[in-house]
């Protein structure tokens, strides 16, 4: 959501920044509705004052015994009441239309974000090296099925496409990955672990920007409940409607949850394997901080997510997403892309985004800095996507016989087992 005052002050800048998101100019429509809304509010105030004044006079005139004049004033007050009701309804309709437009406009890109489509994404880091193999490499789904530890057929019989059943040591490996990530982020990086609901109401999703524009990407249940697409939703909403003291910032939360996405726009993409599932697990990082510390916190979050891959000895790169490739609520996003030798491609394993005060305005999440009250800055990132980390380990640590070596850092979580075969 946006500060309407800033749009009034510089509508041209607002439209120019929106154009970087490939969004049509909309400031004129916004300001026309804004003017209409303010005019209606002004009329309401004038008529309310007139009604209050005449209501007061009715009592005074009645005491003087002037029933005829009192009756006339009562008719006028009644008419004003009807007018107030009409104007109030009109004002609410205009305010609703204005809010609806504002709620569907993406965040404006930070000045450091490259402008353009996906081709303008900029690689800023390349960490580690690709491993050399002397045998033909397999993708994770072939490895998993040959080990008897991944079944897409059984999952399909139960739930349909884009689900998997994992078994045995592969299932334990995925659990170990999540536990390792949680330990790293809590013990080394100071994040507070939080167990959150996986069912949330629409107002929580509105706060993070998932609603109203992206309802088709969500799984809706009953009674206004939705399954979470990421733990970012409940974690960010922990401060909804609150005012924090700047001395208590930053707030850093981590949570391991299942995530649910309809993948409405993913027809034909990643139809095999677990790269793009309706249900998957993720370790999510969320930071809430002040405007002054926002950019530093973004860099810190990125380094925390990177450390997972470094400890797993996985080759990866970091990319700054372009203005058209960022998510709706982000003003700047770093993508971490891990190398998958089976696919012969870099694939996203984490997105770390700084949303500025965009989400906080929608959630009314604020902090007090001396005598001033300001909106929090919210940041979120995968630390990491657990299933995609499993894919990366399977493909990078595979052996010629189809077995999978367990990274050293995960062996204590696997009863010191070194290989899955």
80 and 46 within one domain:
yes
Helices 11-19 & 27-63 angle (0-180, nearest 10): 140
186 and 43 within one domain:
no
Which residue stretches of 209-288 are H helix? Answer: 232-236
131 and 90 within one domain:
no
**Beta carbons within 8 Å of 334's beta carbon, 6+ residues apart:** 124, 298, 302, 318, 319, 320, 321, 351, 352, 353, 381
211 and 66 within one domain:
no
Rounded to whole angstroms, how far apart are CA atoms 292 and 32?
Answer: 33
Domain boundary among 78, 103, 128: 103
Per-residue pLDDT tens over the stretch 292-306: 999 999 999 999 999
Please identify every residue annotated as catalytic. 261, 276, 348, 351, 388
H/E element, 362: helix 358-363
Residue whose entry in the numeric block shows the structure tokens 């081709």: 119
Token pair, residue 71, equals 């009756």
Q: Give the mean pLDDT of the chain.
A: 95
DSSP classification of residue 116? S
Domain residues for the domain of 349 are: 118-420
Domains of the chain: total: 2
Identify the pLDDT of residue 75: 84
Identify the pLDDT of residue 278: 96
Rounded to whole angstroms, how far apart are CA atoms 173 and 413?
Answer: 8
24 and 168 within one domain:
no
197 and 323 within one domain:
yes
Give the residue-averaged pLDDT of 373-392.
98
DSSP helix/strand/coil, 153: helix
Any domain includes 128: yes
Identify the pLDDT of residue 65: 63
Domain boundary among 103, 134, 167: 103
Any domain includes 109: no
Give the residue-averaged pLDDT of 211-225.
96
230 and 175 within one domain:
yes
Predicted TM-score (pTM) of the model is: 0.93
Any domain includes 110: no
Rounded to whole angstroms, how far apart are CA atoms 355 and 70?
Answer: 59
- Nearest to 282, CA basis, from 367, 386, 195, 187: 386
Identify the pLDDT of residue 36: 97
**What percentage of residues in the chain have a pLDDT greater than 90?**
90
**Beta carbons within 8 Å of 109's beta carbon, 6+ residues apart:** 17, 20, 21, 115, 323, 326, 331, 332
122 and 95 within one domain:
no
Any domain includes 378: yes
Any domain includes 108: no
Give the residue-averaged pLDDT of 377-390.
98
Per-residue pLDDT tens over the stretch 63-117: 666 777 777 888 888 889 999 999 999 999 999 999 999 999 999 999 999 999 9
Per-residue pLDDT tens over the stretch 234-275: 999 999 999 999 999 999 999 999 999 998 667 778 889 999
- Nearest to 255, CA basis, from 371, 359, 380: 380
Identify the pLDDT of residue 83: 92
Identify the pLDDT of residue 265: 67
Domain boundary among 43, 69, 103: 103
CATH value at residue 90: 1.10.287
Rounded to whole angstroms, how far apart are CA atoms 197 and 75?
Answer: 55
84 and 230 within one domain:
no
Any domain includes 315: yes
Q: What angle do CA 378, 314, 150 make, to 5 degrees?
A: 90
Contact between residue 298 and residue 106 where contact means Cβ atoms under 8 Å apart? no
CATH value at residue 198: 3.30.930.10
Identify the pLDDT of residue 68: 72
Strand pairing of 279-289 and 377-385? Answer: antiparallel
216 and 142 within one domain:
yes
141 and 81 within one domain:
no
Identify the pLDDT of residue 63: 65
In this structure, the chain runs to a length of 421
Any domain includes 129: yes
> Does residue 320 surpass a pLDDT of 90?
yes
DSSP classification of residue 64? T
Any domain includes 112: no
């Amino acid at each position: 959501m946006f500060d309407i005052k800033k749009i009034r002050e510089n509508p041209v800048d607002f439209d120019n920044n929106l154009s970087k998101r490939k969004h049509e100019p909309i400031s004129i429509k916004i300001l026309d509705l804004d003017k209409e809304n303010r005019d209606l509010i002004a009329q309401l105030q004038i008529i309310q004052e007139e009604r209050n004044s005449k209501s007061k006079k009715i009592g005074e005139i009645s005491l003087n015994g002037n029933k005829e004049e009192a009756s006339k004033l009562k008719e006028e007050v009644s008419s004003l009441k009807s007018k107030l009701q009409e104007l109030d309804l009109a004002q609410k309709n205009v305010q609703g239309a204005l809010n609806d437009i504002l709620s569907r406009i993406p965040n404006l890109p930070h000045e450091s974000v490259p402008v353009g489509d996906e081709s303008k994404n900029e690689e800023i880091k390349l960490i580690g090296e690709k491993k050399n193999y002397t045998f033909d490499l397999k993708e994770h789904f072939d490895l998993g099925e040959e080990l008897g530890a991944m079944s897409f057929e059984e999952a399909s019989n139960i739930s349909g496409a884009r689900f998997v059943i994992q078994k045995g040591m592969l299932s334990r490996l995925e659990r170990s990955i999540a536990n390792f990530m949680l330990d790293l982020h809590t013990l080394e990086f100071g994040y507070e672990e939080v167990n959150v609901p996986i069912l949330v109401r629409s107002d929580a999703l509105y706060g993070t920007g998932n609603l109203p524009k992206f309802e088709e990407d969500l799984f809706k249940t009953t009674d206004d409940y939705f399954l979470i697409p990421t733990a970012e939703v409940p974690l960010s909403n922990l401060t909804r409607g609150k005012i924090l003291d700047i001395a208590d910032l930053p707030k850093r939360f981590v949570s391991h949850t299942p995530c649910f996405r309809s993948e409405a726009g993913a027809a034909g993409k990643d139809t095999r394997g677990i790269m793009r599932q309706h249900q998957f697990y993720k370790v999510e990082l969320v930071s809430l901080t002040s405007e002054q510390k926002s950019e530093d916190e973004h860099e810190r979050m990125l380094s925390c997510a990177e450390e997972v891959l470094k400890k797993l000895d996985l080759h990866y790169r970091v990319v700054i997403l372009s203005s058209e490739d960022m998510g709706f609520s982000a003003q700047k996003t770093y993508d971490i892309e891990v190398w998958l030798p089976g696919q012969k491609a870099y694939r996203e394993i984490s997105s770390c985004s700084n949303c500025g005060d965009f989400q906080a305005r929608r959630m009314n999440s604020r902090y007090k800095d001396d005598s001033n009250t300001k909106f929090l800055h919210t940041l979120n990132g995968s630390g990491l996507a657990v299933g995609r980390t499993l894919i990366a380990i399977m493909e990078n640590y595979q052996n010629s016989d189809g077995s999978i070596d367990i990274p050293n850092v995960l062996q204590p979580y696997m009863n010191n087992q070194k290989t899955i075969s």
